Amino acid sequence: MNWTDERVELLRKLWSEGLSASQIAAQLGGVSRNAVIGKVHRLKLSGRGRTTAAPARQKKAASSGATATKSTVRAASTHRHVTASIGATALQVQFDAEPVARQYLRPVENVVVPISRRLQLVELTERTCKWPNGDPLTEEFHFCGNDAGESGPYCSYHSRVAFQPASERRRPR
DNA sequence: CCCTGATTCGC
DNA sequence: GCGAATCAGG
């Protein structure tokens, strides 16, 4: 892959939008994050507000079933578009509009999908949750992307949804 | 360990 | 100019 004007332009755009080098590399395709960083420097584009950083970590996969409660309860509040940026990683984290909307229709336990990192297919790694959200034919489509550990393809939440034992299955009715 | 950007240096 | 290897840090 060579740096065509278009690719450089896209690089400039994404970099200015605050995406990390690895994410930009993923979207450009054919280049490593190092390649992106190197190019950024050569273009003298470094430093965009927040310098050095790596606070994009959604820790705690929970070791016992107790932890799961937290996220479920929290999201139940309101559907404010909490545009939380995780440090330098300007991932636009928001609550899924659809799932939250159903909340008032059925105030049952575990109905809300936890925060999604809204990753594109190319951004998935071996450790990101591959639970798909939305219609694959629309722009809205994305993957959960939260930490999936190494025990499976999904995060703790989606693992429970996907591999729900028949005994625990509550008939949605 | 995961990830982040920064620098170096052989190609 | 390019980018893998390496460094420094959260």
- The CA–C1' separation of A109 and B10, in angstroms, is 59
In order along its 173 residues, chain A shows pLDDT tens digits of 899 999 999 999 999 988 899 989 998 888 999 999 999 999 988 877 544 444 433 333 333 444 444 444 444 434 344 444 443 344 444 444 444 444 444 444 445 556 666 677 767 887 888 888 888 888 778 888 888 877 788 888 888 888 776 666 666 65
Tell me which residues from 89 to 118 on chain A have a beta carbon below 7 angstroms from nucleic acid strand B: 89
Closest residue to B3 (CA to C1') is A54
In contact, A146 and A161? CB cutoff 8 Å: no
* Side-chain-side CA neighbours of residue A124 (13 Å): 17
Residue A64, token pair as written in the block: 């016992």
pTM: 0.53
The domain segmentation of chain A, as residue ranges, is 5-43, 121-164
pLDDT in tens, A52-98: 444 433 333 333 444 444 444 444 434 344 444 443 344 444 444 44
In contact, A75 and A81? CB cutoff 8 Å: no
Amino acid (one-letter) located at A87: G
Residue A48, token pair as written in the block: 């965009």
